[in-house]
Amino acid sequence: MEPPDQPDGLGRDPVYDVPDPHVFPQPRPARGSLNSVSLLDRLLLTQSVWLQLSLNSATALHILQREPPGTFLVRRSNTHRCRVLCLRLLDDLAPAFVASYCLQERAAGISLEGSSQSFPDMLHLVASYCQSRVLELFSQCQGPPEVA
């Protein structure tokens, strides 16, 4: 004799049945979840993590060596008197595994040193490179520039 259908929306064999979507609706992404927050907003919310202007190059290197490739931070270079974008590379791309790029800040905007592409502010610069991964390609083709 077969057991009767379960009133909770499951069929006879719950191990193999798919739950009834009317009884067990699929969860919707929570309001304010990372899926609904733009990249610019995420960068703004995490700015206190990646904008570390008081770090020196040795400390930045120490922090980034323990992080996955693609992790970045922005610090101030006392030697070059500019902000520096530090990017964690893949282990086999460079002996130092961190590339550092001087940032040029002008009235027209901010850019990587030597780049013709300018952005209105630091958030837009970082967002653009996060989306395009241009820094990774640049570091693979030309090797990381040295910035102290």
Query: In this structure, is residue 21 part of a structural domain?
Result: no
Structural domain including 94 reads 34-142
Burial class (CB within 10 angstroms; exposed 0-12, middle 13-18, buried 19+) of 146: exposed
What is the full per-residue pLDDT of the chain (148 aa) written as tens digits? 555 555 555 555 555 455 555 555 555 555 555 567 888 899 999 999 999 999 999 999 999 988 988 889 999 998 888 999 998 888 766 667 888 999 999 998 999 998 888 999 999 998 888 877 655 444 443 333 444 4
Query: In this structure, is residue 83 part of a structural domain?
Result: yes
- Residue 135's CATH number: 3.30.505.10
Query: In this structure, is residue 71 part of a structural domain?
Result: yes
Directed axis angle between helix 134-142 and helix 122-132, to 10°?
Answer: 70
Query: In this structure, is residue 69 part of a structural domain?
Result: yes
**Model-level pTM greater than 0.75?**
no
Into how many domains does the chain fold?
Answer: 1
Query: In this structure, is residue 57 part of a structural domain?
Result: yes
